[in-house]
């Protein structure tokens, strides 16, 4: 396993993208940093993490034949990979919150940022960035409800060991994509999806709050919600969030 360890960097995703622009890296090369000075989150947010306590890393995957219209399957595979590596089946309920946050109860424990390098109609390379709260115990209020493995399991974790476990687990689920086993991947993802089929309050970009239930995630990764009047609507990440978070 090829793991590049850094003390500090702006963002491991940005670092790996610069590396692949000038050299060839084998699949599952990972870059991990004790500190990110400009950690990036989804939809232009930042990722904040206490220095040396957590995992902030990126993994590169080279693809031979991965169609752009299948890209959400990678999001499913990575969230399943992280979920399975950290879930020990204890009392706390873990779930995948669409599109790819990992929750313990209602608190976020990991976030994923995937950036694809595209050639023609195919994804040539993916940079998978993962922020996982491991040994940090207190979280600033302004980042929303968050927790860590230490908070839920009550023990310290060896971040190096955990990193290897997560990469192996991601590889296992990415193999589903390579074998075009898309249906099985989706089935496992849906089985862990937060609030699936449960009436929930959502908030649209326009600040409009409404009741609906998640009934599916379509191939492009849009969240499919059935409203009270049985109308079905689809939303992209920028268009919707849960109203209670
Ligand atoms: C999110 O939930 O908004 C996604 C967060 C992703 C954070 C990780 S930390 C390692 C990698 N490098 C970054 O700059 N971001 C990702």
The pLDDT value given to residue 206: 78
* Residue 131 alpha carbon, nearest atom of ligand 1: 9
The pLDDT value given to residue 207: 82
Q: What percent of the chain has pLDDT over 70?
A: 98
Q: Tell me: the pLDDT tens digits for 77-110? A: 999 999 999 998 777 799 999 999 999 999 999 9
Rg (CA), the chain: 18
- Is the pLDDT confidence value at 245 over 60? no
Which two three-digit tokens encode residue 110? Answer: 């990991």
Atom 11 of ligand 1: nearest residue by CA position: 129
The pLDDT value given to residue 75: 98
- Is the pLDDT confidence value at 8 over 90? yes
Q: Is 13 in the pocket of ligand 1 (CB under 6 A)?
A: yes
Can you tell me the distance from the alpha carbon of 185 to that of 162, in angstroms, rounded to the nearest whole number? 23
* Residue 101 alpha carbon, nearest atom of ligand 1: 2
Atom 16 of ligand 1: nearest residue by CA position: 129
The pLDDT value given to residue 179: 95
The pLDDT value given to residue 88: 84
Q: Tell me: the pLDDT tens digits for 23-79? A: 999 999 999 999 999 999 998 899 999 999 999 999 999 999 999 999 999 999 999
What spacing in Å lies between the alpha carbon of 123 and ligand 1's midpoint?
A: 20
The pLDDT value given to residue 31: 98
Ligand 1 pocket test target in 12, 37, 40 with most atoms within 8 Å of CB? 40
Q: Is 42 in the pocket of ligand 1 (CB under 6 A)?
A: yes
- Is the pLDDT confidence value at 195 over 70? yes
Reported as a pLDDT band with limits 50, 70 and 90, residue 121 is confident
Per-chain mean pLDDT for the chain: 95
Query: Reduced to 3 DSSP states, what percent helix, strand and coil does the chain have, rounded to the nearest 5?
Result: 30, 35, 35
Indicate the helix (H) or strand (E) that contains 212: strand 209-217
Q: Is 31 in the pocket of ligand 1 (CB under 6 A)?
A: no
Tally Cβ neighbours within 10 Å of residue 182. Answer: 16
What spacing in Å lies between the alpha carbon of 244 and ligand 1's midpoint?
A: 23
* Residue 39 alpha carbon, nearest atom of ligand 1: 14
Reported as a pLDDT band with limits 50, 70 and 90, residue 133 is very high
């Amino acid at each position: 396993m090829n793991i590049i360890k850094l003390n500090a960097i702006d963002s491991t995703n940005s670092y790996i993208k610069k590396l692949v622009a000038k050299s060839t890296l084998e699949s599952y090369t990972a870059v991990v940093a004790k500190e990110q000075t400009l950690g990036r989150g989804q939809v232009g947010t930042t990722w904040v993490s206490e220095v040396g306590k957590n995992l902030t890393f990126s993994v590169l995957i080279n693809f031979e034949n991965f169609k752009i219209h299948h890209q959400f399957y990678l999001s499913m595979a990575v969230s399943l990979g992280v979920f399975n590596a950290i879930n020990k089946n204890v009392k706390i309920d873990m779930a995948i919150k669409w599109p790819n946050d990992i929750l313990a109860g209602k608190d976020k424990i990991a976030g994923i940022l995937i950036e694809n390098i595209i050639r023609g109609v195919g994804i040539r390379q993916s940079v998978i960035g993962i922020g996982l709260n491991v040994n940090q115990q207190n979280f600033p209020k302004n980042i929303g409800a968050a927790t860590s493995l230490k908070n839920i399991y009550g023990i310290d974790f060896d971040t190096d060991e955990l990193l290897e476990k997560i990469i192996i687990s991601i590889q296992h689920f990415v193999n589903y994509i390579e074998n075009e086993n898309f249906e099985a991947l989706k089935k496992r993802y849906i089985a862990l999806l937060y609030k699936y089929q449960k009436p929930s309050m959502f908030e649209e970009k326009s600040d409009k709050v409404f009741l609906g239930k998640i009934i599916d995630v379509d191939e492009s990764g849009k969240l499919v919600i059935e409203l009270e009047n049985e109308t079905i609507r689809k939303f992209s990440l920028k268009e919707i969030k849960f109203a209670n978070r």
